[in-house]
């Protein structure tokens, strides 16, 4: 039987519970919402197909081959299949569990522990690693490369990787105080979880997040010793390191005695909320602590949507369209609140078609599965272009980078911004 084979082939390893995949009724609803299946129309690129491949592997009928591994990593973890499954199977979660099984079973390339155990847990090292790109932009080298047309001679994937990164500013940790007092009477004490990419790549948005919360009666505490939320590690099967990072973040933030833990990164928020559900199911001590921690976590739009906000004095007079990050819309069931913030900012919100379809980013898909990622992005940008908006708003750094690339590929006269930046602009009355 399947379970007997599991115990033989994967003895001593964490494997998915067979009830998570044996209940599939093969209805095909997941195919209708899967971005990778929509591009290839191959069963093996669908949630149902990946589930069946994993089932065969767990039964000992398939080896963990390179091809099977690729199919599991082709999943975008957009969670659309989880949401639509009529019997409650979560194929996206199973794809991540398959990656963990592969991580436990197969020798890993040297680069993987270097990045996920060496670089990501070390915020200072991450900031140092970004320095060459910061200098590349600030010293005018990037501008010269583009003016001379050198970038056009690069292979398409390398060219897109070079222009995907937005213009960098100083890190949020270096420009935002660890404690920001509330403007006027303090109504809330907020612990702000600053994500890695928000700190290094989208620091302007995180600075805006702190200002807007302070503007609305929040004392904001931003501990600078938090570490990566762990999602990149989960995505590449390194669950052990993800759990270690989760323990550090729980211990760091629970000391602050905050009313709420807020983040402005959709992926971070989804992962932090998951600490209390799946990270420590076999650890009695951390299970209870993680549940208490996750119960306090809110996306910034979710939190601001739950309190009384001050009306801004300088409403934006622009057309905005909104892209739903997968880990905000489906991972956290937060989709009305960002739109409400955009409308509060004075912007005219123009809904795009398929606003909740994945943009093709999924963290590193533009690197690992470039062709698929760009095909999915092309469809997204067609829907964006039809809105004639001047700003695309989204609350996920991965989505923002991908959409920014899409704007350049399609030569669209648009900016990509976090919704909180537009509200901040409406409060401050400037366009910075």
* Contact present, 61 and 9 (Cβ < 8 Å): no
Closest CA to 83 of 265, 310, 335, 263: 335
Q: What angle do CA 167, 173, 179 make, to 5 degrees?
A: 135
What's the pLDDT at 59? 86
Q: 102-132: per-residue pLDDT in tens?
A: 988 888 888 888 888 888 889 889 999 999 9
Q: Is the pTM of this model over 0.85?
A: yes
Residues 152 and 279 in one domain: yes
Whether 163 and 252 map to the same domain: the answer is yes
The domain total for the chain is 3
pLDDT reported for residue 62: 87
Contact (Cβ atoms closer than 8 angstroms) between residue 401 and residue 165? yes
Return the CATH number at 231.
3.40.50.1860
**Are the C-beta atoms of residues 271 and 332 closer than 8 Å to each other?**
no
pLDDT of res. 314:
95
The residue out of 310, 339, 354 marking a domain boundary is: 310
CB 296 within 8 Å of CB 258 = yes
CA distance 126 to 242: 17
CATH number, position 71: 1.10.1060.10
In this prediction, residue 19 carries a pLDDT of: 74
Contact yes or no for 250/242 (Cβ under 8 A) = no
pLDDT band at 323 (very low <50, low <70, confident <90, very high): very high
306 and 193 fall within a common domain? yes
Domain holding 367, by residue range, is 319-428
Q: Is 135 helix (H, G, I), strand (E, B) or coil?
A: helix
Neighbours of 55 (CB within 10 A): 19
Q: Are residues 267 and 156 in the same domain?
A: yes
Residue 51: which of 5, 12, 19, 83 has the closest Cα?
Answer: 19
> Do residues 78 and 117 share a domain?
no
The 10s digit of each residue's pLDDT in 193-234 is 999 999 999 999 999 999 999 999 999 999 999 999 999 999
pLDDT digits (tens, 9 = 90+) for 403-419: 999 999 999 999 999 99
Alpha carbons 121 and 118: distance in angstroms, whole number? 6
For residue 329, the model assigns a pLDDT of 97
Query: Among the three residues 105, 132, 165, which one is the final residue of a domain in this structure?
Result: 105
């Amino acid at each position: 039987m399947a379970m007997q084979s599991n115990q033989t082939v994967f003895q001593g390893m964490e494997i998915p519970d067979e009830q998570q995949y044996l209940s599939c009724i093969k209805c095909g609803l997941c195919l209708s919402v899967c971005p990778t299946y929509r591009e290839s129309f191959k069963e093996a690129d669908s949630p149902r197909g990946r589930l069946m491949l994993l089932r065969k592997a767990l039964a000992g009928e398939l080896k963990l081959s390179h091809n099977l591994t690729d199919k599991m990593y082709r999943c975008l973890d957009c969670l659309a299949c989880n949401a639509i499954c009529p019997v409650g199977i979560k194929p996206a979660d199973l794809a991540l569990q398959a990656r963990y099984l592969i991580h436990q079973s197969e020798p890993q390339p040297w680069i993987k522990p270097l990045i996920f155990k060496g670089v990501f847990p070390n915020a200072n090292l991450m900031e140092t690693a970004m320095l060459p790109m910061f200098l590349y932009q600030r010293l005018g080298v990037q501008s010269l490369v583009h003016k001379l047309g050198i970038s056009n001679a690069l292979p398409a994937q390398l060219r897109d990787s070079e222009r995907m990164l937005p213009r960098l500013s100083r890190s949020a940790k270096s420009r935002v105080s660890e404690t920001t007092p509330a403007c006027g009477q303090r109504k809330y004490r907020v612990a702000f979880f600053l994500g890695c990419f928000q700190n290094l790549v989208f620091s302007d948005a995180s600075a805006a997040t702190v200002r807007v919360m302070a503007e609305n009666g929040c004392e904001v505490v931003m501990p600078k010793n938090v570490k990566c939320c762990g999602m990149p590690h989960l995505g590449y099967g390194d669950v052990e390191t993800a759990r270690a990072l989760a323990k550090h973040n729980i211990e760091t933030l629970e000391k602050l005695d905050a009313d709420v833990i807020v983040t402005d990164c959709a992926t971070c928020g989804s992962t932090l909320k998951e600490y209390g559900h799946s990270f420590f199911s076999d650890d009695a001590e951390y299970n209870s602590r993680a549940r208490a921690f996750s119960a306090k976590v809110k996306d910034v739009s979710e939190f601001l949507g739950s309190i009384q906000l001050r009306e801004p004095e300088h409403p934006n007079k622009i057309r905005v369209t909104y892209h739903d990050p997968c880990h905000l819309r489906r991972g956290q069931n937060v989709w009305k609140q960002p739109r409400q913030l955009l409308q509060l900012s004075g912007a005219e919100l123009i809904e795009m078609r398929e606003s909740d379809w994945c943009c093709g980013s999924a963290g590193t898909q533009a690197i690992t599965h470039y062709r698929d990622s760009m095909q999915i992005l092309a469809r997204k940008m067609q829907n964006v272009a039809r809105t004639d908006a001047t700003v695309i708003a989204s609350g996920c750094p991965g989505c923002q980078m991908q959409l920014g690339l899409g704007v350049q590929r399609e030569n669209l006269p648009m900016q990509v911004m976090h919704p909180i930046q537009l509200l901040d602009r409406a409060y401050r009355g400037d366009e910075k």
